[in-house]
Chain A
């Protein structure tokens, strides 16, 4: 575990890419194979089954630290991470040990089969044998969520350096439905004929946001335009007579969207499609409808009826068992078009339509009507571009609409957690309803560090009342709140809810009376809701 803890520390304490790659590559050269395999698994979001509930972990940690549970619970949101909170409050370890990463993973898995008393004794014993960082990592193995700045790109670069294999090949090998139980390090990374996994998706190609005017892209004829849909990016893999649905986050979503089971009736085997999953009834229903489907592993019949989904296909990655990614986009699109266009309306798939244009002016005008199409903007794709892996500049651009905005008054403030533990960063905003201020949204991001410092100092001096961690502040500051969508919400006092609200600007120039009103919001709701 010490070797893994040292690796973690090296990665965690630098913001530069090269030292991270160096540290990972060294680990992939020197560590035992089982540890390497687990290291890849952990950093790509695969972790052992949870052996202990977080409720028990908190209780045991508070007990071991000799503090009341409520005090632990108050500290946790300030630290922002459960595994770290536990590691910080425990007394130093009394025993010494230097076991491998795989040893501790086996230890955790054996724990899962024990009665609760045994699990408690095992966890307390582990805490007493591990140093600070190791203890944090041990807790992380239980609670999950290793976000430590190791991207897929970084991982494949390091693996490539250690194994001598090409990065794109490694990226593809690491995709899909493997776990350290089903594969060895050798088979995953090194074997010449890695057994083809029927479910394995391709790395997604991601677009960059367009920042320059589109005319800088060159001749309009070289470009293909379509709407940028507001759904879930998905890849559907049809091989061996079954289908798999993958999210961009490499999460298997097959069971969440049972509608796609029927795709095998319409699309030939050995095909891989890239597209947008949308809630759809006579047209896209908007993200709010789809949101109800997200996060549900099984879908009740009523929801299937209220918010049915289909795939707006926009790319073809595999056709007749052949990897199509090196072919020009135009060619892939033609095959896709021939495949999807003739299908019956009952097929859960449509072709994401092309927006024809001769001049850049046409597409600029079209973009402004995106909200009427339930889209968030337009996509521009170079007709002769291959399908690359990851976010690459040059061939694919997303050109989103400007966000909607309202001017709102800051009325409540709360301290942040984790990275922002010592600043006020969580704010509630209100708009006018007659002479009253009605809260309608929270926002946490968008200000610079300098602005967060200023508002923190101001909040400290202008607190009117405290409700636990929440402070009511003097209504004095107006902020421009930007957001991507607005819809009705009976759960909110104001009756509306915003999508992706954030602070776009601190309007020092705006007097309080000029903030927007609830009527203004309802007008936005009528127009865009």
Chain B
């Protein structure tokens, strides 16, 4: 019997349903786990994504033929039974479950285990074959609870207010930025946002997510009218004329890569907050264990080392070549 999913140079392919999952070359029919650029690309004939992921995809990809599906809803595509389950990576992100002839495969896209209070909480999906990322698949990557990081950010913000600097916090415009917004203490001061962040905020607010009040930075905005404010921006805005309007700043990045002192120092920011929308080492291992799968396919990240470890731990694991990027510390936009 053919495998339910196979790995082609266009993407992850299901022959029984004649569709691709997160393909990186144009295909007729694409099932999309979430709206980040390395998973949801333009140029496909037809798209299927969760109802919660759809608005961001339309915002990013424009007028596409996008069909929507609810979490947990079961749908037949050709000979394959398909359903989407929360991956907790960003709002609307999904693991895609595909069942053909009693064999269950799950393509998990990008995921994390911790409930961030914004994305739909991660749901373990029992399966025979599990396709996983390994962006942070090394034992040196372990995350502190979100509340600890929120406290660190708040202390930094307060220090900036004392020293007269504007805190400039850099993060992905989709997902990480909104998660950080929910972690900020709104009593501390006003929150200003870069246009790329605020555009995504608007899309997510419109679909019913609750975010704290923010002020979009426009050419007319006078920073002086927002004393003690924190500025949330994409990292690409750092050091540009756009950022100069805030006077002396204290810069910070929020990324899992900030766990490594070397990366923190290369970014040359004043602070590095260790927070990621990808699972850490223990998260990856617990997620894999909970699926009950024996066959594991590792798509991106520290694939070689992680796969070797899985094999030593009794799984049958293999590296598969894809064009997913995981968390890119240099990422300028999603």
Hey, which bits of chain A sit against chain B, CB under 8 A? 12-15, 65, 67-68, 70-72, 74-75, 78-81, 84-85, 88-89, 417-422, 449, 453, 457, 460-461, 463, 466, 468-469
Partner of A13, one of B142, B271, B308, B325: B271
- Contact B262–A81 (Cβ < 8 Å): yes
Within 8 A of A (CB), among B87-145: 138-142
- Supposing A15-B268, A89-B139 touch, asked if A421 and B261 sit within 8 A by C-beta, the answer is no
- Shortest A221–chain B CB gap in Å is 45
- Contact A453–B330 (Cβ < 8 Å): yes
> CA separation between A469 and B138, bound complex, in Å?
14
- Contact B263–A419 (Cβ < 8 Å): yes
- Contact B304–A466 (Cβ < 8 Å): yes
Hey, which bits of chain B sit against chain A, CB under 8 A? 138-142, 257, 259-266, 268, 270-272, 302, 304-305, 308-309, 312, 321, 323, 325, 328-330
- Contact A422–B139 (Cβ < 8 Å): no
- Contact A419–B262 (Cβ < 8 Å): yes
> CA separation between A461 and B323, bound complex, in Å?
7
Q: Which residue of B lies closest to A468 (CB)?
A: B304
Q: Which residue of B lies closest to A66 (CB)?
A: B139
- Shortest A237–chain B CB gap in Å is 36
Residues of A within 8 A of B141 (CB): 88
Partner of A422, one of B272, B308, B329: B329
- Contact B262–A420 (Cβ < 8 Å): yes
Partner of A417, one of B259, B262, B304, B312: B262
In addition to A417-B262, A461-B323, 10 A-B residue pairs with Cβ atoms within 8 Å of each other are A13-B270, A68-B309, A70-B308, A75-B305, A418-B262, A419-B262, A419-B263, A419-B266, A420-B266, A457-B325
Partner of A460, one of B142, B323, B329: B323
- Contact A421–B260 (Cβ < 8 Å): yes
Q: Which residue of A lies closest to B272 (CB)?
A: A13
> CA separation between A85 and B271, bound complex, in Å?
20
Residues of B within 8 A of A71 (CB): 138-139, 305, 309
Residues of B within 8 A of A75 (CB): 138-140, 305
Q: List 21 A-B contacts (CB under 8 A).
A: A12-B265, A13-B271, A13-B272, A14-B270, A67-B139, A81-B261, A84-B261, A88-B140, A88-B141, A88-B142, A89-B139, A417-B262, A418-B260, A419-B263, A419-B266, A420-B266, A421-B262, A422-B329, A449-B330, A457-B325, A460-B323
- Shortest B172–chain A CB gap in Å is 15
- Contact A12–B261 (Cβ < 8 Å): yes
> CA separation between A85 and B141, bound complex, in Å?
10
Residues of A within 8 A of B263 (CB): 419-422
- Contact B304–A88 (Cβ < 8 Å): no
Residues of A within 8 A of B264 (CB): 13
Residues of B within 8 A of A419 (CB): 262-263, 265-266
- Contact A79–B260 (Cβ < 8 Å): yes
> CA separation between A282 and B259, bound complex, in Å?
55
- Shortest A93–chain B CB gap in Å is 14
Residues of B within 8 A of A466 (CB): 304
- Contact A89–B140 (Cβ < 8 Å): yes
- Shortest B308–chain A CB gap in Å is 8
- Contact A65–B139 (Cβ < 8 Å): yes
Q: Which of B257, B261, B308, B321 has the most CB of A within 10 A?
A: B261
> CA separation between A418 and B304, bound complex, in Å?
19
> CA separation between A453 and B140, bound complex, in Å?
23
Residues of B within 8 A of A65 (CB): 139
- Contact A78–B138 (Cβ < 8 Å): yes
The 7 closest A-B pairs by CB, nearest first: A418-B262, A419-B262, A88-B140, A419-B266, A74-B305, A75-B138, A89-B139
> CA separation between A453 and B325, bound complex, in Å?
12
- Contact B323–A88 (Cβ < 8 Å): no
> CA separation between A80 and B329, bound complex, in Å?
17
Q: Which residue of B lies closest to A62 (CB)?
A: B139
> CA separation between A71 and B312, bound complex, in Å?
11
> CA separation between A172 and B322, bound complex, in Å?
58
Q: Which of A13, A75, A418, A468 has the most CB of B within 10 A?
A: A13
> CA separation between A298 and B138, bound complex, in Å?
41
- Supposing A13-B271, A71-B305, A469-B304 touch, asked if A80 and B262 sit within 8 A by C-beta, the answer is yes
Q: Which residue of B lies closest to A85 (CB)?
A: B140
Residues of A within 8 A of B266 (CB): 419-420, 449
Q: Which of A418, A422, A468, A469 has the most CB of B within 10 A?
A: A422
- Shortest A74–chain B CB gap in Å is 5
Residues of B within 8 A of A78 (CB): 138, 140, 302
- Shortest B39–chain A CB gap in Å is 15
- Shortest A145–chain B CB gap in Å is 13
Q: Which residue of A lies closest to B264 (CB)?
A: A13
- Shortest A419–chain B CB gap in Å is 4
- Shortest A529–chain B CB gap in Å is 36
- Supposing A68-B312, A74-B305 touch, asked if A79 and B270 sit within 8 A by C-beta, the answer is no
